[in-house]
Amino acid sequence: MTNDPRPSADIAVIGGSGFYSFLDDATEVEVQTPFGPPSDPITIGELHGRRVAFVPRHGRDHRFPPHRIPYRANLWALRALGVRQVLAPSAVGSLVPEHGPGTLCVPDQLVDRTSGRAQTFYDEGAAVHVPFADPYCPDGRHAAVTAASAAGWPPVDGGSLVVIEGPRFSTRAESRWFAAQGWTLVGMTGHPEAVLARELALCYTPLCLVTDLDAGIETGEGVTMQEVLRVFADNVDRLRTVVADVIKALPADRACPCPAALDDIEPPFALP
């Protein structure tokens, strides 16, 4: 972006509590997009010599439930600021008993079970079909698995994240059905983030912290918000450390397939 006085960044983190103050020399930037404002002003600063942007997915006061997050505005604003690689830490439930609370997972597949969310930038003007067989950046996933392993928190490498509409948790029957399909994780925010990133030719890498066994996997009262928040708080420091290590390890030049997502495709409008 030429002649743009705003600070820029190459890498972004879309996250929640625990990530608000992990950048050095941070500056807040307000960005307007064709899809409204992002969840909150975007913070840009330095980390390991890299220019990094951070956007709180739910807003700083957690005012946006999963189905109301302004996903399109968040991703558009990040690209407008120069971002090309996105890390997406989140809390998830596990659909397999061996991946209990405190497990870190880097899935390689995604299943959409949401409804009613705006999940494309290209809903008028032209039909734009991006490849999405492999929804996550392979280089980003490799950096995440390598960095977490080196930090002494070996992650589960691979698996399928099923994203539900929320904001309620799953019934036991739903949970058992998800598990029966071979899906391993369940969350509420990984879609449409990943596909919107692909539509902007961005790299997108999830880092999923298991906070609970889902309702169909464990007996008892089922998943509670208190349990999710407690486990996340217990692990957020080392999650933040791993995210910082991944930022350091991400390649400066993108050789993955993600930048080519829009090759031979003519979007109906100019991208930022």
- Which positions are annotated as active-site residues? 212, 214
- Residues 269 and 125: beta-carbon distance below 8 Å: yes
CA distance 239 to 231: 12
Number of helices and strands (H, E) in the chain?
5, 11
CA distances for 45 relative to 25, 33, 235, 252, angstroms: 5, 21, 23, 17
Tell me the C-alpha distance between 36 and 197, whole Å.
Answer: 17
Torsion of CA 177, 183, 187, 192, to 10 degrees: -110
